[in-house]
Structures are given as C-alpha cells and as structure tokens.
Chain A
Amino acid sequence: MTNSSISINQLCFSYPDGTTALHEVSANICAGEAVAIIGANGAGKSTLLLHLNGCLLPANGDIKIGAIEITKKSLSDIRSMVGMVFQNPDDQLFMPTVYEDVAFGPLNQGLTPEEIKKRTEKALLDVDALQLQDKPPYQLSGGEKRRVAIATVLSMSPEILVLDEPTTGLDALGRRQLISLLKGLNHTLILATHDLELVLELCNRVIVLHQGRIAADGPAAEIFQNLDLLKQTHLEQPLSLRGCPKCVGNGVQS
C-alpha cells in the first residue's frame, strides 16, 4: 500500500448530541485517484472528510493512510500527509499576511528557514498567488482566498489533498481557475461537493453518501446515469448530462 492510499474500514461516528453521522462506511482509495464524495445536506460528507486527517477520530472502525492507522499518536504524521482545505477560507486564513499563512504549516513541521521560504514561495507560485504574498487575507477576493487556502496546505507537501466544498461562493472565473489548478495537481484528491459539474470535470470516481451510509461507489459516468439512485439520495443529474430540454420535450432523445 502506498503512502497516499486511504483505507476506510467500517467507520462509525456519532456526535455528542446522539446524531449518527456515519454508519459502517468502508472504502479504499488508491494513490493518485480523484474521488468526489457527494450527498444531500446532512449526509455525512464533511464528517467523513474531518476523519481523513484526524480532526475527528472514529468511534468504531478505522482509517489507514498508507500503512499508518489514524490514532491520537499518529496525528502529526497523518496531518503532514493529508492536507485539508476547509469550506470557508476565512477559517483557514488566520495569519496577518498571505505569506505568513502559507508558511504556518512548514513552520510547525520544524523545517529550516530556507526550506520554509522555498516551500512557501513554490506553493504560492503553484496557485498563481505569489503577487499576493504581502496582502492581509481580508483584502483578497473570494477566488484569491480559495487559491491561497489551497497554497497553505500545498506548502506542507501533502500526498493527499482533501477539499470541502471548494467552489462555494466562487464566481465563474474563480471556479474555472480553481478547476484548472486542481487538474494540474498530482495529489490523491478527495472532495466533498454539491457542484456535480465540478465532479464530472475532476473526478473519475464518486462515492454517494446518504444518511451516513454509502449508497453507491463507482465511476462518475455510471453513478450520474443512475437516475433512481440520484432521486433516492436527493441528488440531481448534472446539467451537462441531461438532454436538450427542447428535444426531450418533443420526444427526441439526445
């Protein structure tokens, strides 16, 4: 098993108020795969993501990143391997300037000042945000914030990138830039999203969560053709896969 593969085995989790968020979730994700986790609100997507870098620990079952099981003891190793980009970039960007924010992770990894500088500049360059390095986060646009939030994780050189709702609040240009950026990365990519068009562009595999359980796991093209499944899990087929509304209305199938 390579370092960037993920093995989720019978994962269960309930919140302190008794809500069961995940129930016997199992999946294996191979190195280099791009996997989308989709589902209606409250299906357990974000809870599952929070388990992948140990922000939440399993109540039952286990998760392995490569050969390392996520436990309290292995958290520092796991967090170097799994980079987590949160839904709201304002939660991710807490330092006074973009540069300091991107350098925060490498600084905590105990790297040398030269290595910190090198990694920070490379991460900013990768997301095309080097020119923003001296700006405070509140001066950035939504798209810039999102790119910088990804840079804060890339600077730690993770092997797995986990993104929660990466396109929320982005305009068309910002969304397009983000898709190009993510397409150019070679990481194992896991994203939870409601943006099914994004899934079609980026992911070859889809895991559908419904009420804390895996309702389906398979190739994106297959899942999105299964209209019964989509209906049961409160999802809709991506617009680009639906036929032309005029032709369908006239009885002509696309």
Chain B
Amino acid sequence: MQNIEGTLLNFRRIDLLASENSFIHRIDARVKILVTLFFIFSVISFNNHEISALLPFFIFPAAVSTLGKIPFSYILKKLILILPFAVMIGIFNPLFDRHVLVSIGSIEITGGWISLLSIIIRTMLTVSAGVILVCVTGFNTICQALNQMGIPQPFTTQLFFLYRYIFVLAEEVCSISNAYRLRSVTGRRMGISTFTPLLGNLLLRTWERAERIHLSMLSRGYNGVFNKIPVTPLNRTDLKFLFGWSFIFIVLRFNNLSVFLGRLITGIVE
C-alpha cells in the first residue's frame, strides 16, 4: 500500500512544516484564515476571460510561502494533483466558445482557450493559498481559530477528529487491503463485489472506534465543550498583516497591474 503510506507521510509533513517558527507562523491563525479567504474571493470574482489581471496575485502565495519556509516543490506537487480536475472543468470551453478574442500573427486564440487558462490559473492561485494556509498554521490550529471566529463546535470538532484519525483510518484501510491481497491468488484488482463489503467493514470499524474514543473522552470528564480556546485580541502585527494584504488585494482586484507594467515598460522603451 505504497500510495496510502505515501499520503500519510505527506500529512505528517504538513505537521512538520506547521511546527516551524517563522514570522508567518506567528501571525494569528484567524488573520491568516481571513486573509486567505479574502484572497480566494478576490481571485474568483474576476470574469471568465481574465488572465493578465490574475497574474500579479501570485505575489501572495510566493511571499507567504517564502516567509513561511514552505518549499515551492511541495506546493507544486499538490498543484499537480489538483490541476487535472481544473482541466476537466474547463476542457469543453474551447469547443463551446469559439469566439476569437486574441490574434497573434496568424494564430487565433478563442475565448474558450482563454477561459480554460483562466480556470487553471485561478485553481493554481486558490489551491496554493489553501495549501500554504494549512502548512503555516497547522490543521488543529485552524480548527481552533474557526471556533474562535464563531463556527459552531460540532463542525470544528468533526474537522479536528477527521485530521487526528485520518492516520488511524488509513492504517486500517492498509490492513484490510493487505488482507485482501494476501488471499487474492489471481492478483487482480479488487472488484466492486469485494470492495463494497470491505467498505462496510471499514465503516463499522470506524463506528466502533468512535464509540471507544467517546467513552475515553467521557472518562476524562468531557462535558460537551471540546478544546475551547478563549477569544484573544489581535496584536498590531496581526492587524498590519490583515489590512496590508487586504489593501493589496483590493488594489490588484480593481487595477490591472500587468497592463500597467506593460505600458510602463513599453513607454520607457519607446
């Protein structure tokens, strides 16, 4: 089960990256969540055919990942995993939208191709921002911050346990899968008729484990309030980070910096 074990190692790397101590790591998690959400909304609010105005937004993931010591290669690997889905969303755009928007010499580029590229760029921006947020904050801290921001505890607790037990669940999937492979003489992949009862088995195991964890929590005085962190005020650096990036996003959203730079450089050359 190399794939599942590889995925587990990847999750563990997130924890390692989140335990670094950088300027970005020290920023309050609530601020990082708000800034990331604002970034994502700014990026997705552009129209379908926008490309040039999106490019300057790469400054956010680039700056935060550099300051937060998150390797670009790690983010790129995550993007490569997600990009096929983005391509699938926009794959038919070139067929439906054949209206020519740009001509470079004899090459005519239709609106469909431009919207496909726009979807890819937006996916790269939003996914990298999400990955970086988790890497510089840590999943558990994000859950606590969401709780501080007023998200109801049942939701944040679910997220918290999902992350804690994803390792245990994956190990159980590994055991079930190994048990199957060791007794599957043909070496063929698991068919749907085998897969379905195994999935049911996994659900029952998960259910039993959830009951045992709940018992263990009750035994230690759990009374319905979980991992509650008091709401603390933001400090000056947090506020600067929040308003600074918000200002940059507003500027980039309403001004096409690429076009401006292009004109500036052309002007200087001329």
Chain A residues, Cβ within 8 Å of B12: 138-139
Asked whether B161 is an interface residue with its Cβ less than 8 Å from the other chain, the reply is: yes
Candidates B19, B219, B223; contact of A55 at CB < 8 Å: B219
34-72 of chain A: CB within 8 A of chain B = 50, 53, 55
Asked whether A150 is an interface residue with its Cβ less than 8 Å from the other chain, the reply is: no
Report the minimal beta-carbon distance from A77 to chain B, rounded to whole angstroms: 10
Complex Cα gap A247–B214 (Å) = 52
> Is the pair A94, B218 in contact by a Cβ cutoff of 8 Å?
no
Asked whether A108 is an interface residue with its Cβ less than 8 Å from the other chain, the reply is: yes
Chain B residues, Cβ within 8 Å of A100: 227
Chain A residues, Cβ within 8 Å of B48: none
Report the minimal beta-carbon distance from A197 to chain B, rounded to whole angstroms: 27
> Is the pair A86, B212 in contact by a Cβ cutoff of 8 Å?
yes
Chain B residue at minimal CB-CB distance from A50 = B215
16 contacts between A and B (CB under 8 A): A55-B218, A76-B221, A76-B223, A86-B219, A88-B212, A91-B213, A92-B216, A95-B164, A95-B227, A96-B140, A105-B220, A108-B222, A108-B223, A136-B15, A137-B164, A153-B219
Complex Cα gap A152–B222 (Å) = 13
Report the minimal beta-carbon distance from A21 to chain B, rounded to whole angstroms: 15
Chain B residues proximal to chain A, CB less than 8 Å: 12, 15, 19, 138, 140, 161, 164-165, 167-168, 209, 212-213, 215-223, 227
Chain A residues proximal to chain B, CB less than 8 Å: 50, 53, 55, 76, 79-80, 83-84, 86, 88, 90-92, 94-96, 100, 104-105, 108-109, 134, 136-139, 152-153, 156
Complex Cα gap A53–B219 (Å) = 7
Candidates A86, A96, A109; contact of B216 at CB < 8 Å: A86
Chain A residue at minimal CB-CB distance from B163 = A96
> Is the pair A94, B216 in contact by a Cβ cutoff of 8 Å?
yes
> Is the pair B212, A156 in contact by a Cβ cutoff of 8 Å?
no
A94-B161, A95-B227 given; A84·B213 CB < 8 A: no
> Is the pair A156, B215 in contact by a Cβ cutoff of 8 Å?
no
A90-B168, A95-B227, A138-B167 given; A108·B221 CB < 8 A: yes
> Is the pair B220, A153 in contact by a Cβ cutoff of 8 Å?
yes
